[in-house]
Amino acid sequence: MNGKNDQKTEYLDLLRWLAIGMVVLLHVASGIVDTIPGQMTAKEQTMYELVKNVMTVGVPIFLMISGSLFLDPKKEIGIQRMLTHYVLRIVVVLFLFGVPYAVMELIVQEGGFAPMMLIRGFFLTLSGNTWAHMWYLYELVGIYLLTPFIKAVIHYGGKCLLEYGLALSFLFFSILPLVERVLGIHVGLVYQLNGIYLFYYVLGYYLHSYGTMDWKWCAGLFVILEGVICANRIMGFQMDIQYHAPIIVVASASLFLLFRNLKKENACLSKRRYLCFGIYLIHTLFLNAFYKAFHFTPLAFGAAGILLFWILVFGLSILASEMMHRMPVLKKFI
């Protein structure tokens, strides 16, 4: 298939760092909203919910980065390599981190450690009941398993079929849920390739290959949409700010295109892109320690608390990720 597959990928490293920063900030805010909402004033709750909403585009950006890389026809990934390298790696990481996180949660709930908690932690992780942020790894396994099939469709179907699939996914996973919510009706039609996350994955490849748009227009659109998201929270409107929401889809796409067409590079961040996955895995460990064990939260520092905590947690996570990459066993997987 002819496309702009010679598009450079350095911008993806900048996007990767931006996305992980947004995800950490999102979890700094959501950790407060989800664990101690009773300690927040109405003004604080509005501010923290606003930060959550504005940072929501971070996860779609991660998925789009993965799609732009894995679905590139020049990147040859057979079924065997996908299973034995990429899928296996995520599964190992899922249990390597998921089991200890599940055990930690059991210790907090039951007030002490028992050896059987290790087995319980394993089965909790197997069933998807470890710390919340690990959901992303479960999604990645499913998406990676589908990748050889998607690559074949893209290769043989061409741009037209790719656009057709994206349009169907956007309709069924973003537009129709909005229509159902606004009008209070249920649409019985079922689209079998289920999942907004798969849509973002394929969208990343499409925008990377064909997304030519002036970065200034992309920046303006992104700022406007984020402004609408802020207004939605401040004014108390009922707009749904979830990954499937049309406003999040368009905002994520505009941010991706902004970096794709800005043509900026940063050698320092590119060389250290390997840290981002480790940051994602470890940052909630610090948040849970601060919030649940030490009862140390951003609320103690007023309006600046969320920014101070983001700097603290992000900095500690970078250091921890670097340390993990110096350990031969962990370096192989993260």
Q: Is residue 4 part of a domain?
A: no
What range does the domain containing 292 cover? 10-331
pLDDT for the residue 3: 46
Radius of gyration of the chain (CA): 20
Q: 38 exposed, middle or buried (CB, 10 Å; 0-12, 13-18, 19+)? A: exposed
Q: Is residue 14 part of a domain?
A: yes
What is d(CA 283, CA 291) in angstroms, rounded to the nearest whole number? 12
Q: Is residue 1 part of a domain?
A: no
Would you say 84 and 103 are in contact if contact means Cβ atoms under 8 Å apart? no
First to last CA, the chain: 33
Q: Is residue 58 part of a domain?
A: yes
CA atoms within 13 A on the CB side of 93: 24
pLDDT for the residue 231: 95
Would you say 70 and 89 are in contact if contact means Cβ atoms under 8 Å apart? no
Q: What is the pLDDT of residues 117-149, one digit of tens each?
A: 999 999 999 999 999 999 999 999 999 999 999
- Four-point Cα dihedral 150, 153, 155, 161, nearest 10: -120
Would you say 48 and 77 are in contact if contact means Cβ atoms under 8 Å apart? no
The distance from CA 249 to its chain's CA centroid, rounded to whole angstroms, is: 13
pLDDT for the residue 6: 46
Would you say 239 and 245 are in contact if contact means Cβ atoms under 8 Å apart? yes
What is d(CA 110, CA 252) in angstroms, rounded to the nearest whole number? 41
Q: What is the pLDDT of residues 175-218, one digit of tens each?
A: 999 999 889 998 888 787 778 999 999 999 999 999 988 999 99
SS3 28: helix
- Write the DSSP symbol of residue 188: -
Q: Is residue 5 part of a domain?
A: no
Q: Is residue 3 part of a domain?
A: no
Q: Is residue 68 part of a domain?
A: yes
The residue ranges of the chain whose pLDDT is under 50 are 1-6
pLDDT for the residue 19: 97
pTM here is 0.92
Number of domains making up the chain = 1
